[in-house]
């Protein structure tokens, strides 16, 4: 693997810093906490850590509202701690990926503080302002976290545009001074030794609010190419864009191997399948399994040789995959491993979200114990609209972002070993059963399965370059595929549900070596047991 493409056989681990590990007993995870867990991460085998935002922020949206891009929030530590982390990680061949929030800043950022002083202020144009129409907002656009997307500022007699909370005013990318400030800031981080960037809601930067356009604005790719040219071209940086609006066509532009834009993007087509058509994520629907196969294999096929996929089930905005599409009861371990094997056999760069490697699960708390602004706003809005409390809580149990944000479960001691203080958010009560300490020692744990998958990817080139083919397209229970290159083939076969099935393919023979599975004695049965997953390696005859 050339150094420039190191991310093609690496696995990236996402850390949600406030919930990862607390070093100073204030109940909030921090950079020193991360440093203290680097050996664990090295043992797992990951090549990079993407940290959700740690820059200075009033934390209205847990750091996705940045008030100083070139400083660390005191809650997480200091710039010195960050340098320390970069260095300590490097010793373990791990790179640090920063989360760049470039679509908006915090309203407490100096730029915005200036911008709202007067229309003549040199920073006014850093944001998106419009006059009202007879005392009402310029249009009906809504913010993602509820309410109008426009906020009135009496001082300047104008509304500013915010796609997220009122405390997250959108930056005006049309203004080249804004873009230059951003590029300077990024170059400053690159000099500090940062290994790459995750770009928050990057497909929303080219908004055109007068046209009602938020994602995929007409100038998006022009802006991205400039951003890339000015900042990302040097060195071995990995860049991954968060693009809720990506199609395979767009993803080929974003991740074109000519490097003119990004290394890859997160697409969400598969992740949005269990919601009602045209409705919000809170409107629950079952997962259409055949559709899941269709979507994932289409992305595999269409990006082959023309772009690069990122592979993920979980992140800090999504519920836990084992609770969502697996089984967090009797088959928690089996289904967590099945989902891992299914995803890690595909082409692309896999991402593991903290705790996913332990099979951590969703939570069911009282509303007082939730912290997420999106969840709390929705709860209030829906009750006002007349929804029943039970129905609203059911949506929260299934989809709240806080499902993924509970503290990391390190051991079976107090607060799961996350903090010696009072955790900022309640620990999932199942930590005595599900925790890192017990799983690291256990060869049959979910952790050990992830660890092995990461090693296999480094060992067998077919993980990186094999061409994907879906098998059993119409099978209602089994997800099976092959990956084929010049001299070998991977065969992955997964029972997605809890019924035992007849093995639906030709029986494996001696030319096939089982690389990994989630049951012992896999070779001796003609059945696929609940959530059974197997990955075989076949050497081609020369």
Binding of Ca ion at residue 28 (CB under 5 A)? yes
Backbone angle region of 157, left / alpha / beta, with phi > 0 → left and psi within -120 to 50 → alpha: left
488, containing H or E segment = strand 488-495
From the list 51, 75, 101, 311, which residue makes contact with ligand GLC (rule: CB under 6 A)? 101
Angle 11-15-20 from CA coordinates, rounded to 5°: 135
For residue 480, the partner it binds in ligand GLC, Ca ion, none, with Cβ less than 5 to 8 A by kind, is none
Show the DSSP H helices in 269-372 as ranges: 289-303, 321-324, 332-344
Binding of ligand GLC at residue 164 (CB under 6 A)? yes
Cβ 427 to Ca ion shortest distance, Å: 15
Binding of ligand GLC at residue 7 (CB under 6 A)? no
For the record, the structure tokens of 541 come out as: 């005859």
From the list 30, 261, 274, 317, which residue makes contact with ligand GLC (rule: CB under 6 A)? 317
For residue 26, the partner it binds in ligand GLC, Ca ion, none, with Cβ less than 5 to 8 A by kind, is Ca ion
**Shorter beta-carbon distance to ligand GLC: residue 101 or 178:** 101
d(CA 104, CA 180): 15
User: Which residues lie across from 150 on neighbouring strands?
Assistant: 161
**Shorter beta-carbon distance to Ca ion: residue 16 or 325:** 16
Q: Which x/- pattern, by CB under 6 A, does the window 191-210 give for ligand GLC? A: ---------xx---------
d(CA 266, CA 466): 21
For residue 22, the partner it binds in ligand GLC, Ca ion, none, with Cβ less than 5 to 8 A by kind, is Ca ion
Q: Output the CA–CA distances (angstroms, integers) from residue 148 to 3, 151, 155, 163, 381, in the order listed.
A: 46, 7, 19, 9, 13
Q: Which x/- pattern, by CB under 6 A, does the window 215-244 give for ligand GLC? A: ---------------------------x--
Residue 200 annotated as catalytic = yes
Binding of ligand GLC at residue 372 (CB under 6 A)? no
Sole window of 30-38, 321-329, 368-376, 496-504 interacting with Ca ion (rule: CB under 5 A): 30-38
User: Regarding beta strands 48-51 and 12-15, do their DSSP bridges make them parallel or antiparallel, or are they unpaired?
Assistant: parallel
Please report the DSSP string for 213-258 in residue order. B-SS-TTHHHHHHHHIIIIISSTT-EEEEE-TT--HHHHHHHT-TT
Cβ 22 to ligand GLC shortest distance, Å: 21
Q: Which x/- pattern, by CB under 6 A, does the window 380-409 give for ligand GLC? A: ------------------------------
From the list 16, 20, 64, 312, which residue makes contact with ligand GLC (rule: CB under 6 A)? 64
Phi, psi for residue 369 in degrees, rounded to 5: -90, 0
Q: Which of 200, 328, 334, 372 is catalytic?
A: 200
Residues 6 or more apart whose CB falls under 8 angstroms from that of 441 comprise: none
Residue 242 annotated as catalytic = yes
Binding of ligand GLC at residue 266 (CB under 6 A)? no
Residues tagged active-site? 200, 242
Interface residue list for Ca ion (CB under 5 A): 22, 24, 26, 28, 30
């Amino acid at each position: 693997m050339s150094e420039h493409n190191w991310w093609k056989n690496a696995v990236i681990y996402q850390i949600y810093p406030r919930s990862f590990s607390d070093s100073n007993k204030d109940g909030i995870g921090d950079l020193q906490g991360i440093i203290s867990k680097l050996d664990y991460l090295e043992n797992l085998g990951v090549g990079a850590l993407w940290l959700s935002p740690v820059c200075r922020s009033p934390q209205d949206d847990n750091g996705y509202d940045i008030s100083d891009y070139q400083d660390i929030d005191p809650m997480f530590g200091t710039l010195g701690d960050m340098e320390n982390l970069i260095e300590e990680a490097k010793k373990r061949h791990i790179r640090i990926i920063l989360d760049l929030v470039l679509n908006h800043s915090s309203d407490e950022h100096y730029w915005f503080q200036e911008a709202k002083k007067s229309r003549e202020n040199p920073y006014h144009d850093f944001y998106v302002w419009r006059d009202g129409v007879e005392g009402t907002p310029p249009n009906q656009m809504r913010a993602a976290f509820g309410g109008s997307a426009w906020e009135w500022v009496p001082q300047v007699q104008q509304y500013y545009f915010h796609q997220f909370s009122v405390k997250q005013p959108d930056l005006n990318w049309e203004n080249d001074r804004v873009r230059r400030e951003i590029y300077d800031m990024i170059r400053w981080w690159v000099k500090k030794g940062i290994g790459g960037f995750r770009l928050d809601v990057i497909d929303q930067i080219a908004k055109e609010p007068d046209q009602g356009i938020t994602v995929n604005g007409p100038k998006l790719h022009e802006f991205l190419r400039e951003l890339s040219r000015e900042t990302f071209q040097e060195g071995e940086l990995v860049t991954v864009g968060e693009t809720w609006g990506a199609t395979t066509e767009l993803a080929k532009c974003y991740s074109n191997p000519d490097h003119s834009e990004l290394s890859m993007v997160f697409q969400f087509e598969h992740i949005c399948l269990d919601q009602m058509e045209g409705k919000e994520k809170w409107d629950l629907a079952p997962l259409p399994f055949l559709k899941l196969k269709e979507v994932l294999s289409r992305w595999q096929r269409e990006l082959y040789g023309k772009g690069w996929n990122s592979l993920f089930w979980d992140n800090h905005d999504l519920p836990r995959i084992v609770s969502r599409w697996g089984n967090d009861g009797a088959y928690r371990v089996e289904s967590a491993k099945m989902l891992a094997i299914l995803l890690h056999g595909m082409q692309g760069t896999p991402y593991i979200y903290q705790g996913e490697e332990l099979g951590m699960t969703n939570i069911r708390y009282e509303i007082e114990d939730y912290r997420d602004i999106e969840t709390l706003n929705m709860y209030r809005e829906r009750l006002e609209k007349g929804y029943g409390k039970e129905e609203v809580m059911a949506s929260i149990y299934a989809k709240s972002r806080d499902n993924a944000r509970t503290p990391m479960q390190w051991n079976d001691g107090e607060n799961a070993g996350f903090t010696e203080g009072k955790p900022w958010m309640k620990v999932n009560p199942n930590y005595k059963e599900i925790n890192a300490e017990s799983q690291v020692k256990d060869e049959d744990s979910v952790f050990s399965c992830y660890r092995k998958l990461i090693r296999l990817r480094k060992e067998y080139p077919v993980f990186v370059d094999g061409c994907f083919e879906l098998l059993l397209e119409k099978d209602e229970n089994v997800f099976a595929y092959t990956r084929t290159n010049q001299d070998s083939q991977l065969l992955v076969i997964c029972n997605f549900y809890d019924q035992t099935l007849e093995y639906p393919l030709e029986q494996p023979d001696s030319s096939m070596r089982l690389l990994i599975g989630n049951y012992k004695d896999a070779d001796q049965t003609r059945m696929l047991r609940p959530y059974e997953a197997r990955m075989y390696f076949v050497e081609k005859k020369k």
